[in-house]
Structure 1
């Protein structure tokens, strides 16, 4: 690997051990066997490197959302069963106390101390709203400015961020996929009943 790849791998290991605020440029250099100048040359700044390292870590974990290890989602795209299947896979990645999702909470809580990281990850989050849709609905990723990304993409990602927060705060009572799905069924049923009542008045 070249210095760019070495830095990225070193930053990933540092993030997992010390988080965003606790990781210094010198620690990344020591971990990667590179030099300080390489960070600026390849990534512009330490914060930009850390943001890319985190996005890479999320990419690795998100491979498990659709089953991972060569597995495929089995429920039909767009079905409630697919909804539960994907979120069950997501929850499995959150159950480890040392999961990478604690880093997401660090950005939420301490974003003012790491504004450059926060800004980079905010941009990555907008891309995630598009990238998450095919897992649930099938097909290709929609455009970032599409109505589907701005509605369904935001909906799925909002639920995911809420789950991450719950699993970090209190794993004993955190929402399971089957509970989330049961809640969705109730919301759909209530909306249907309300529509019928409105039509009959």
Structure 2
């Protein structure tokens, strides 16, 4: 690995251990075995490096323990079905203990976003990518083949559910919504809506 990759890996470890606000450039250098000048050369600033490290952590979340967030291996539920909806959310919830640190970082960054416009811009771009990244788990359409309207509607819907669900699980896992309750809620909402 080169300095760029070493910095990214060191920054990821620092984020998970200390969070965004408490991680210093010296922490990253110590963790990565690089030097302070490398941060500016490769990433422009410590905050930009930490934002990239956070994005890399989020991207790897769906592949935690090799399981992914999609339907369980061998699942045969049809794409777009309520059964698939429930399977995907069950997988997301099941991954929560392994991904809790990353979700805590997410909410730290949301609260700090107004104070760090450079980081906020990177995270807004990542959020747009996240909308298209979540869709294939539900509809089996490869991300590269998704049209803008689907990403802007269905992707936003799933992303909104994901963010709300994670707030509940971070705050109190014992009272948080289960995949079964989320699916039943959707069933009750769409039932009357489709009768008109």
TM-score, normalised with respect to structure 2: 0.90
CA contact (8 A) 1:130 1:143 kept: no
Which residue does 1:198 correspond to in 2? none
Q: In 1, Cα distance between the equivalents of 2:47 and 2:145?
A: 27
Which of the residues 66, 71, 77 maps onto 2:70? 66
Q: Which residue of 2 aligns with 1:45?
A: 45
Please state how far the C-alpha of 1:122 moved relative to its aligned partner: 1.1
Task: Kindly indicate whether residue 15 of structure 2 is the aligned counterpart of residue 19 of structure 1.
Answer: no
Unpaired runs of at least 5, structure 2: none
Report the CA distance between 1:110 and its aligned residue.
Answer: 2.4
CA distance in 2, matches of 1:157, 1:115: 22
Show the counterpart of 1:114: 116
Instruction: Please say which of residues 155-164 and 53-62 is displaced more in the overlay.
Output: 53-62
Cα distance in structure 2, aligned partners of 1:168 and 1:101: 8
1:100-139 mapped onto 2 (5 Å cutoff):
100-139=102-141
- Tell me the residue number matched to 2:36: 36
The alpha carbon displacement at 1:99 in A equals: 3.1
The 1:89–1:44 alpha-carbon spacing in structure 2 relative to 1, beyond 3 Å, is: same
Q: Secondary structure at the match of 1:112?
A: helix
The normalised TM-score by structure 1 is 0.88
State yes or no: 1:164 paired with 2:148: no
Structure 1 unmatched ranges of 5 or more: 196-201
Q: Which has the larger radius of gyration?
A: 1
Task: Tell me which residue corresponds to 2:155.
Answer: 153
Count of residue correspondences: 192
Corresponding residue number in structure 1 for 2:175: 173
Q: Render the CA deviation track for 1:37-69: whole Å, top value 9, x for unaligned.
A: 11111112111111111111112211220258x
Q: Distance in 2 between matches of 1:125 and 1:72?
A: 30
1:73 to 1:41, Cα distance in 2 relative to 1, 3 A? farther
Instruction: Show structure 1 runs of 4+ deviating over 6 A.
Output: none
Work out whether residues 71 and 137 of structure 2, in 8 Å CA contact, stay in contact via their aligned partners in 1.
no
Query: Aligned pair in 2 of structure 1 residues 124, 161: CA closer, same or farther (>3 Å)?
Result: same
Deviations 1:60-82 (A, max 9, x none): 211220258xx355321111111
CA RMSD of aligned residues (A): 1.9
2 CA distance for matches of 1:183 and 1:192? 15
Change beyond 3 A, Cα 1:76–1:97: closer
